[in-house]
Structure 1
């Protein structure tokens, strides 16, 4: 007789603890201590997926990105799920993520958002992956539940408020937003607690004196060998998702201005410091505290000119979130896309030429190759020469948001050619993963990295078929 009573008592105490936790959290939401998480739930505007139900003629780019993403989904639900040790865990339990560091959290968040996008946009095919849609949805929700539950906003000693955690929280929040109708109340509240905590941390510049820039306002290099472009961009991600997800939040204006500020500083060149071109309420030079690109559009990271990091700020570009939410998009978020594209497509590197980090390798030339999916790394690379998904994704973004018709056509062609390299790599393996080994890409979470980039490109290519992005240059 005592066993049922003890069981119910445990449930009651757990509920009481959760309620107390959320009451405490409610006193520390963002910069406004009077806002409760219960109120924030009411501000969430779920994504309207109905526009993706219409019959449209797919583009070659959408078809290709869909194939790559489905392969990534297949791998995530089979081999990857097993390797992570998730297969023995009941679907109703929290997953054991194994720790709080980058490769314990980021890859799970990346797979969750990649699956969520595939499921909600009508791409997912259980016949292809070998996993039913119902099971795929359950596993996606389980990943989301586990990620938000183990964030330090919800669990003492959890992950968060460190280095790259705003990016991981951004991935997780995006997955949660896409799957919002499938989430229980506790997971929704824990998601908002995570968002609130990470947003407040970024609004406070991570408790640092300021954001990172490669050069200061005087043009002096103050972060040798290490651009702040990607870091500023990934820091903006959690704010972006919060804004797109909760457009009626009283913190919207403060957050969107921070997104604009971080984006412009991530992609500014030295000459931009003098620019009086208007971006969302004030001239460009008034937004900037330094610069992160070289004047020619290249980027220095890991102490050399690094093509992979030229794409990084665009991997976290905010445009797709606002477009998906059918909201107006700040014009500033298109900043310098054409300059970086030109550095990839037209900037020629002469063999033996001295650059930051070394001498240009043979045979020289441009980074992108006309009529080819090949990539030339002028000074070599430390990740591996098998990377293509970041470049294909960049070209999807460049083609979508440029006003230059010639640039658009070239970018669309390279998107296909570089994307085909990815698909060909995936075709080598039955489970759909991309890389043979670390020689092709040494990044520990390389497969999940592909899933994230494929998701971004697929979302953009699909949105192009059903709507036009709406840009605004107003101030907030």
Structure 2
């Protein structure tokens, strides 16, 4: 492909995209229309307009959307196409290096996207069909030539591929090979014999390495579920593509073993039931999942790795179906068990909640691959609902990005684009191979099915889900709380919360600065009739502060957070960032947040970041989705993000229930902070103000109770943390630095404690 062709195709694509976005209707983003932080007096605060116009899709409409997404994705990737230095008929997408995600992985993902269209779609023009076929074959030639069994090198001067030692260069090569093999199989009859032989050489080499390697296991901090899962495609496709190869039987055996050791638990080692004619305990080497089917990766409970570990197994079922073979039982081992757990943290718009934070892009890792397979092959109506939502959001984001599937905020460029194009290819293939999806359930039905309280003690967290909220607290890995509004009627603009890793717990800055790592001294959790009560005692700031906290999820819309912080040494507190909640404020969420408070409202435009603003009064409300009432603390404030957060790739504003920039000195045993903050989801500013008036504290000998009216009308009584046995002296403020902005004094608690 010449540079002139690249530029011409790109211009034509962008021109046509401006006029064609498929059938999906969407609204342009609306940003702040007033300058400064304050709206003019008298301006009515309306509900945030919908960004996304969702609709129920027929199976035909689903197929058409997938095709439109893939065609536009393949055209968009033309800008990242490169011709190799060793042969003008050989090329690649990305950077062509031997390791990393922008090399062979990006190449393989785009090859699969193109091959899927070539195999199943007749809507391609003759020019598109010719272009997609030639670039796909050219990329396959690059992969076979630069493999360590080939004669050429990648752009970094090295070969790619697995070695017997299985070090870093081998880590993901099996996954890349599986994607290459699937792309090649879809267009096998269009490949010349030399390229077919080169592919067999590469695929057989990688499968041989894996078949002589035992699947690893890991239960704590670093599961091996997804690593075993991503080796499955290479092994399955090698046996299906080359059934008469002398090693085909060994590859089949290894494929079953890797499948069985993907979603495996400790109980499997004692299970005598038969799977594919062998007792489970003879297949499984150890545990990758906890008994409740949670897992840990990157030192946290990580839903992204739950999802991908599952879809590597559904992909295996797809390969066997395409090859006309029976799907082994191993391909479904604990799949539905894990899916049931995963459903409980899947939000109504198809993304996951992250109770222990997120270190990858918050919106960049869709599970549409899994949803599509479960909705078609397994007739799961919940999955079908999530597929429809995910597909329509992704299509809208792609239109915004002029064809890119690397969504706003992503720093991974062609890598993220290619991986998401691969996901969309699997979504289309699920419908082509498994048939139409079952009728999706409604938003109400999907939410209602997952209502309840669940404690996951192995990974150290508890969740409470109602029709209007998802609440969680984690006391292991990441010490944090999370609250997400999920009430009906917001599908057109669902993205609101960010899972910040100090959520609710907050932080203090001391002078001199010390290690801010948090240590858990003790914790407890109990389920209540309508939620949970979680407590923890923490050591902060190198053990100089002790924080005793309680988070209570009660009713359909409410979470109460309370803590006491005392000094364990003489300390100087420079700042308090208490009771924070992450608020997404960027292009994907509409680009503007309106915070109402007692006395006015402020507008926060993500394109015009401001300094933190501290509000008067004891309550605040964000966009009619979240209301907070600060019963005790240093005052409510909103701190706006100035850029995309590293890793999660969103603008993460923070609403603080207790915020101070005053320098204060405390002696050993003095109370540094006392915070009581009530949070309500899906309430208007007016409702928040009314609810704030209902908050009172009942004093009893040795105990106090917070009493307030809940949005649903019932009265809640929440026991407060007990007073300290030793007298606590009132701390004296010294070296007071007035907060910047209009509020220059500390806000007092509205209730005398």
TM-score (norm 2): 0.46
Unaligned runs of 5+ in 2: 1-56, 153-157, 163-169, 438-753
Determine if contact 1:72/1:447 at 8 Å carries over to the other structure.
Answer: no
In structure 1, the residue matched to 2:161 is 160
In structure 1, the residue matched to 2:384 is 412
Which residues of 2 match residues 67-466 of structure 1 at below 5 A? 67-68=65-66, 70-77=68-75, 79-86=76-83, 92-95=89-92, 98-102=96-100, 103-122=102-121, 125-126=124-125, 132-155=128-151, 157-161=158-162, 162-205=170-213, 210-215=214-219, 224-317=220-313, 318-346=316-344, 367-370=345-348, 372-387=349-364, 389=366, 391-402=367-378, 408-438=380-410, 445-465=415-435
Quote how far apart the aligned CAs of 1:450 are.
0.5
Counterpart secondary structure, 1:445: helix
- Asked which structure has the greater RCO (Cα within 8 Å, sep 6+), the reply is 1
Determine if contact 1:230/1:313 at 8 Å carries over to the other structure.
Answer: yes
Distance, in Å, in 2 between the alignment partners of 1:375 and 1:307 is: 7
Distance, in Å, in 1 between the alignment partners of 2:284 and 2:185 is: 31
Structure 1 residues 136 and 84 mapped into 2: Cα distance closer, same or farther (>3 Å)? Answer: closer
Distance, in Å, in 2 between the alignment partners of 1:88 and 1:70 is: 33
CA offsets per residue over residues 225-272 of structure 1, 9 Å max, x none? 111011111122211111121233343222111111111111112222
Quote how far apart the aligned CAs of 1:107 are.
0.3
Determine if contact 2:295/2:306 at 8 Å carries over to the other structure.
Answer: yes
Runs in 1 of length 4+ with deviation above 6 angstroms? 87-91
Structure 1 residues 90 and 247 mapped into 2: Cα distance closer, same or farther (>3 Å)? Answer: closer
**Which segment is superposed worse, 310-319 or 231-240?**
310-319
Quote how far apart the aligned CAs of 1:319 are.
1.1
Determine if contact 2:346/2:352 at 8 Å carries over to the other structure.
Answer: yes
Kindly report the root-mean-square deviation, in angstroms, between the aligned alpha carbons of the 2 structures.
Answer: 2.8
- In terms of fraction of residues, the more helix-rich structure is 1
Determine if contact 1:159/1:165 at 8 Å carries over to the other structure.
Answer: yes
Determine if contact 1:148/1:172 at 8 Å carries over to the other structure.
Answer: no
Distance, in Å, in 1 between the alignment partners of 2:65 and 2:287 is: 37
Distance, in Å, in 2 between the alignment partners of 1:443 and 1:98 is: 14
Quote how far apart the aligned CAs of 1:72 are.
3.7
Distance, in Å, in 2 between the alignment partners of 1:373 and 1:164 is: 27
Distance, in Å, in 2 between the alignment partners of 1:434 and 1:253 is: 40
TM-score (norm 1): 0.71
Determine if contact 1:273/1:288 at 8 Å carries over to the other structure.
Answer: yes
Determine if contact 1:68/1:422 at 8 Å carries over to the other structure.
Answer: no
Determine if contact 1:65/1:419 at 8 Å carries over to the other structure.
Answer: no
Counterpart secondary structure, 2:292: coil
Counterpart secondary structure, 2:384: helix
Distance, in Å, in 2 between the alignment partners of 1:95 and 1:417 is: 32
Distance, in Å, in 1 between the alignment partners of 2:175 and 2:259 is: 14
Distance, in Å, in 2 between the alignment partners of 1:91 and 1:116 is: 21
Unaligned runs of 5+ in 1: 1-58, 216-223, 347-366, 468-476
- In terms of fraction of residues, the more strand-rich structure is 2
Quote how far apart the aligned CAs of 1:435 are.
0.8
Structure 1 residues 126 and 184 mapped into 2: Cα distance closer, same or farther (>3 Å)? Answer: same
Quote how far apart the aligned CAs of 1:100 are.
0.9
Determine if contact 2:223/2:297 at 8 Å carries over to the other structure.
Answer: yes
Flag the structure with larger Rg. Answer: 2
Determine if contact 2:80/2:414 at 8 Å carries over to the other structure.
Answer: no
CA offsets per residue over residues 8-65 of structure 1, 9 Å max, x none? xxxxxxxxxxxxxxxxxxxxxxxxxxxxxxxxxxxxxxxxxxxxxxxxxxx8356436
Distance, in Å, in 1 between the alignment partners of 2:80 and 2:91 is: 17
CA offsets per residue over residues 199-227 of structure 1, 9 Å max, x none? 1111121xxxx432114xxxxxxxx4111
